[in-house]
Amino acid sequence: MRTALKGHLSLLLNQLQVAFKMENINWKTISFTTLNDFLHKPKHAASLAVARILFGMLMLIDIVEERGGSDLDIRWGDAKTCHFPLLPHLQRPTLPWMCLLYGIMWLGALGIALGYKFKLSCAFFCVPYWYVLLLDKSFWNNHSYLYGLIGLLLFTSSANCYWSLDSFLSNDKTNAVPNWNYFILKFQIFILYFYAGLKKTDMEWLDGYSMANLGHHWIFSPFSSIFTVHEIDYLIIHMSGFLLDLSLGFLLVWKKTRPLSILAGITFHLMNSRMFSIGMFPYVSIATIPLFCEADWPIKLLSKFVYKKEIEEKIPSVCNANKKSRVVLIMFYCLLQMFLPYSHFITKGFNNWTNGLYGYSWDMMVHSWDTTLVVVRIVDNKSGKEHFLDPSAWTHNDRWSKHADMCVQYAHCLKNNLLTEISKERNRQNSDIDNYITSQDISIYVDVWCSLNGRFQQRMFNPNYDLLKADWSPFKKVEWLLPLLTEYSVFRETIREIENHVYTWSNYSDVLFIADFPGLSLENFISPDLDNVTLTVIEGEVVLQTELNDKQVQLVKGSSIPIVSNVFHTILTVGERPSCFMYTYFNKTKDELKEEETSIKSSQYSPMPLLEDSAASVEGFVRMWDLVGNSILNLIYQVPMIRRAPL
């Protein structure tokens, strides 16, 4: 890890040398004084003002939609809902206070867009935003982290000195800001692109396994007559995406390549907005691209249509002392942002099959997950009975199941909720309650089956590890994490070939690939909707037993056997090597599900989402402010909060 980090930093420094040359700065003669002068050189504030306005407007939509403002009552209203805070002692407030925080955050974003009481508006936005983000890691995304950083950077800037209510109401007007206002934002966007490119040097991406079957999307229709779906996936999505991320920041800095790179960047983000459900991220990215242009580009653009004296004004010197402490803080921030994406050798407890929590490492789209099964098993240690719980109970998503730290948090949340429910039932003198949990001495086990980047489905964690007794620390490796079976990664091409072959059998045929560890067993139930189910061993040895009889059948590599539907069977991996096997079957409901999925995708990936979803956005906005208004009445007059039940 340290070697990789050293290599990436060396590459970044070499590229920064090129960037300095583009700014007419001699790398060899650079010193703290020249850096200080460079960062405090006056720049026109127009481009920064445009970025501020667009960011604030987009956050008004983001708070309602992706931050969950329209569903505050569902997301934060149930005290039993399991949340996953980064800091263990960070507690969420009650629903009325949570609604009030969202209202303050929205008003802060509005103040940023208008440039009114700018510092206070940034604080109103940033404090609740980061608090909500830290309250639940299961909602983390790279762009969520980015929005928080941009909010903090705007707070430190003078982005309100131009085209803002503050400048309109102020007697001390200026159209200039120190260059560091631009530099720090451009550096952050540069890191976003460049590190996203560095993360894609992972062979998972370069070999074309991170994104699969996106070539079917309508956005690639112009290429479908030239390339196959697999070629589109590899050449356009993987290779072009890698090259664009790695180079776009540099191309935006260089004036000669800037026009073409702006067009490429806007096209790239608009395509992403259609392929993925990532909220305002593509539009925020587009809004920040013009920061790399000349600082007065909006003035030059307006001068083609409006002729006013104000447009021809020269940039005055900035009334801003060159503080060395500010330069030190800027450099510290830059180094911190360069270090955090490669800090996983310190925060080992957050490493699983992938390093760190998804959100601050800029490893966007490098890893794709396919989760087949999550089993939550609760053992009453007093009675010895086993009970199973729906893994979606008291949660809003399944992100927790891929991270050991969140699995531990979920287990403790389940225990508190279960014991509370049991206590309530006992108080009601429910006679059936003793058939469930009889004491507080329970154990909770989680068995997660998933595939990473097209591999076999396999267990992620030891299914026999009691999470209530887990020895977890941010600085220690996860001891109950099972290794990713990378030795079987070579089978991914075979998996693809077998899938393509099975799909030719009929419209209902399908296949599932599974790998398991020696000594562990898979208990599986075949739905009656499935016909002609066949088990085939690809590698290793297994023992099959069904609930219909006690007879055990040993299967070796290449062996196949039919599996009876509507009954449980157990597959035990024997020998010293992990086993690999597959189920082939006919799925009667596959075509119906495909039709529903196609209908959903056609509406989700429509060409003009911001216009076509405007009605839903307005509805969400009204619902959020109804909740905020209700929360104010509740806090002042104790009016009951109206809360919807989750679907």
Active site residues: 200
Distance, in Å, from the CA atom of 562 to the CA atom of 583, rounded to the nearest integer, reads 9
- Tell the residue number behind the tokens 């007007």, with chain if given: 173
User: Which candidate, 516, 571, 581, places its Cα nearest to that of 544?
Assistant: 571
Length of the chain: 647
Could you tell me if 454 and 212 are in contact, meaning their C-beta atoms sit under 8 angstroms apart? yes
Question: In 94-225, which ranges are continuous DSSP H helix?
Answer: 95-114, 118-135, 142-156, 165-169, 180-199, 203-206
User: Which candidate, 472, 157, 477, 208, places its Cα nearest to that of 329?
Assistant: 157
Q: CA 265: distance to chain centroid?
A: 21
- Show the 3-state SS of 208-263: CCCCCCHHHCHHHHHHCCCCCHHHHHHHHHHHHHHHHHHHHHHHHHCCCCHHHHHH
Distance, in Å, from the CA atom of 437 to the CA atom of 119, rounded to the nearest integer, reads 54
Report helix, strand or coil for 290. helix
- According to DSSP, the β-strands at 386-389 and 442-452 are unpaired
Residues whose CB falls within 8 Å of the CB of residue 176, separated by 6 or more in sequence, listed in order: 42, 43, 44, 45, 161, 315, 316, 317, 318
> What sign does the dihedral 263-265-266-268 (CA atoms) show?
positive
- Show the 3-state SS of 251-269: HHHCCCCHHHHHHHHHHHH
Task: Report residue 544: phi and psi, to 5°.
Answer: -105, 135
Distance, in Å, from the CA atom of 313 to the CA atom of 106, rounded to the nearest integer, reads 35
**What single-letter amino acid sits at 642?**
I
Distance, in Å, from the CA atom of 491 to the CA atom of 496, rounded to the nearest integer, reads 9
Q: What totals of helices (H) and strands (E) does the chain contain, helices first?
A: 21, 14
Q: Which residues are registered as beta bridge partners of 583?
A: 512, 535
